[in-house]
Amino acid sequence: MVRSRFKALALLSGGLDSILAVKVIQLQDIDVEGIVFQSSFFNNHKVHNIASRLGIKIHPIDINKELIRIIEKPKYGFGKNINPCIDCHLLMISKACGLLKKYKADFIITGEVAGERPKSQNYRALQLISDQCGCGSLLLRPLSAKKLPETRVEEEGIVDREKLYGITGKNRKEQIVLAAKFGIDYYPQPAGGCLLTVPRFSDRLRINLKTKKLSGTDLALLKFGRHFLTKDEEKIIIGRDEEDNNRLSQAVPEGYLIFELDKAMGPLGVLCSTEYHAKENIIKTASLVVRYSKLRNEKTVRVKYFKKGGEVHFLSVSGKDHKELELEHI
Ligand code: SF4
């Protein structure tokens, strides 16, 4: 039986390249549905709007646990920060391959552009992913297809190779021209989508990897506040503003110590450990809470500390006490 219409599953990040890949395939009269990957490290909340502009249905897939396992031990290493991009792409594309049958789709499309990223999107990395994803012959990169080996999708005439593109490199000029040609003006500016590419977040995550603090709550705590590391590798977080304080107090798990000024408004402090809390670290956290408050120049300030739902304790410190103690700002 000859199929009247084919269907592609697109990896939709919401970035320009993935939008263009969908458009190029839609223009060949092929149905497209999107896979939207979710994790603690990237937020695709704009994708819903983009999918509706493209007129496609999307399927959210949570890869948080698998991505954490990859970050703990990436087979192909990290990029500049703690971004395991080759492994991450491979994970996403392999997942999409496994979903072809479920969504009655014939092939996968991605917005990958050969040479766009020196490590994760060079020709060798793209080939490696095709070889290992489990459906390489059904994996089409419409924006760079003409510069890549022909896939089964093209050989079998499902897609007309002549109507695909041969875009390569970091320069986004061709993509911007193409977007204008297709009347697409709803794409975000590049970069900033994945926290794993952000240096400060990566530094914080490295510490959590070392101390094996990789629960959803510990990862959520990485996103806000000032972070310090004691010499025995306990993490201290100090809220920067009211919003930080609110988010911290919601995210703090049971057992972690919470610090507040006793009789004044100020930053919230958290000592991130459920185990025995060394007195020295309690003093450091209390002192940092004072240091970042309006009372920083007072001789001594009373600070209260407690576990969620637990007994409240008090101590008096100065905003300078933490200086006496070794502390690393991360
Ligand atoms: S930038 Fe982040 S989401 Fe994108 S491939 Fe790399 S690790 Fe994965």
Domains with residue ranges and CATH for the chain? 7-182 (3.40.50.620), 198-329 (no CATH)
**Rounded-to-integer distance, Cα 246 and Cα 249, Å:** 5
Vertex 180 angle, CA 174 and 185, to 5°: 115
Is the CB of residue 208 less than 8 Å from the CB of residue 237? no
What Å distances lie between residue 49 and 33, 40, 104, CA to CA? Answer: 14, 20, 24
Q: What is the predicted pLDDT for the residue at 218?
A: 86
Residue nearest to atom 3 of ligand 1 (CA): 194
Neighbours of 250 (CB within 10 A): 8
Q: Is 110 in the pocket of ligand 1 (CB under 6 A)?
A: no
Q: The pTM is what?
A: 0.87
Judged on CB neighbours under 10 Å (0-12, 13-18, 19+), 229 is: buried
**Rounded-to-integer distance, Cα 221 and Cα 50, Å:** 29
Structure tokens at 130: 């095709």
CA of 77 to the centre of ligand 1 (A): 12
* DSSP run (H or E) holding 14: none
- DSSP letter at 154 equals H
Is the CB of residue 12 less than 8 Å from the CB of residue 27? no
Q: Is 194 in the pocket of ligand 1 (CB under 6 A)?
A: yes
Is the CB of residue 109 less than 8 Å from the CB of residue 142? yes
What Å distances lie between residue 158 and 107, 134, 202, 233, 287, CA to CA? Answer: 9, 20, 42, 56, 66
Residues in the chain with pLDDT values less than 70: 1-3, 190-192, 321-330
CA of 264 to the centre of ligand 1 (A): 42
Structure tokens at 192: 């900033």
**Rounded-to-integer distance, Cα 205 and Cα 213, Å:** 9
Q: What is the predicted pLDDT for the residue at 3?
A: 63
Q: What is the predicted pLDDT for the residue at 11?
A: 97
Q: What is the predicted pLDDT for the residue at 119?
A: 81
Q: What is the predicted pLDDT for the residue at 117?
A: 86
Q: Is 88 in the pocket of ligand 1 (CB under 6 A)?
A: yes
**How far from chain centre, in Å, is Cα 262?**
37
**What are the phi and psi torsion angles at 234 (to 5°)?**
-95, 140
* DSSP run (H or E) holding 316: strand 313-317
Q: Is 197 in the pocket of ligand 1 (CB under 6 A)?
A: yes
Mutate which of 44, 86, 197 for ligand 1? The one with the most ligand atoms within 8 Å of its CB, which is 197
CA of 127 to the centre of ligand 1 (A): 18
Q: Is 245 in the pocket of ligand 1 (CB under 6 A)?
A: no
Mutate which of 36, 39, 42, 76 for ligand 1? The one with the most ligand atoms within 8 Å of its CB, which is 42
- Buried-exposed string 260-293: b where 16+ CB fall within 10 A, e elsewhere: bbeeeebbbbbbbbeeebeeebbbbbbbbbbbbb
CA of 42 to the centre of ligand 1 (A): 8
Neighbours of 65 (CB within 10 A): 11
DSSP 191-252: S-SBGGG-HHHHHHHHHHHHTT--SHHHHHHTTSSEEEEETT--EEEE-SSHHHHHHHHHHP
Residue nearest to atom 6 of ligand 1 (CA): 85
CA of 213 to the centre of ligand 1 (A): 21
Q: What is the predicted pLDDT for the residue at 325?
A: 53
Q: What is the predicted pLDDT for the residue at 140?
A: 98
